[in-house]
Amino acid sequence: MSAMTDMLLAPDVRPFAISAAIMIVLSGVELLTTLVGFSLSQVMGKDFAAEMNADSGLNGLFLWINAGRLPLFILLILALGIFAIAGFFLQALAHGVGLSVPVAIAAIAAAAFSLPVIRVTSRGIARIIPRDETYAVSEADFIGHVAEVSVGPLDQGLPGRVRLKDVFGNWHSLVARASPESTPLPVGASVLLVDRDAKSFIAITAPADLIAQQRSDRA
């Protein structure tokens, strides 16, 4: 344990250890906030993709690593993790052949190696995770649609989350709570989004005919 601690705190891997620690903290915060129905990835960077263009080098780089296709907070966690892994691997490889690479050079090399890996990995993740409602269609388009409770149950307390697919085939994860007239809606329940206030969508139990129609449309 002492040897492992000494290795993680060694000066030549310190930037990578710090990156790994930040990634773990951010991942924990994202997990906790998602469990209570308020995801930081939903808030952070909502307008970032809309404001980006390829005219500047920095914006072009962000677009190249798929910023906008993936929530910025998730992209940050991914980048920190890949950078840390790349740095530890490069320094371990150098130590294995008896070399001592200055930390600045190791950091630059790790960053250069990380960029294409981030691009490929973020593209794959963007295809499988639900996208927040603000990245594509208007919020008003979800009113009247059937969704499935993914984090709940939905009641009049803390909001949960529901997921649904839009007309383009993209999955969306939305903050929602049950209507005051509705009974609690458990995880996995099909719900109808009937309204939206400043904080969340309002849901009720979905009528059976709408559920059947939705299943027919997907068939």
Model confidence pLDDT, tens digit, residues 183-195: 999 999 999 999 9
- CATH superfamily of domain region 134-218: Nucleic acid-binding proteins (2.40.50.140)
* Nearest 10 degrees: Cα torsion 140, 124, 79, 45: -10
Q: Note the pLDDT of residue 177.
A: 92
CA-CA distances (angstroms) from residue 33 to 20, 29, 42?
A: 20, 6, 10
Average pLDDT in the 163-184 region? 84
pLDDT-based confidence at residue 136 (cuts at 50, 70, 90): very low
Q: Domain residues of the chain, as ranges?
A: 2-129, 134-218
Average pLDDT in the 174-185 region? 91
Q: Note the pLDDT of residue 202.
A: 93
At 191-214, the pLDDT tens digits run 999 998 888 899 999 888 877 776
Q: Note the pLDDT of residue 217.
A: 60
pLDDT reading at 126 higher than 80 = no
Q: Note the pLDDT of residue 172.
A: 82
Alpha-carbon gap, residue 109 to 130, rounded angstroms: 33
Alpha-carbon gap, residue 84 to 19, rounded angstroms: 6
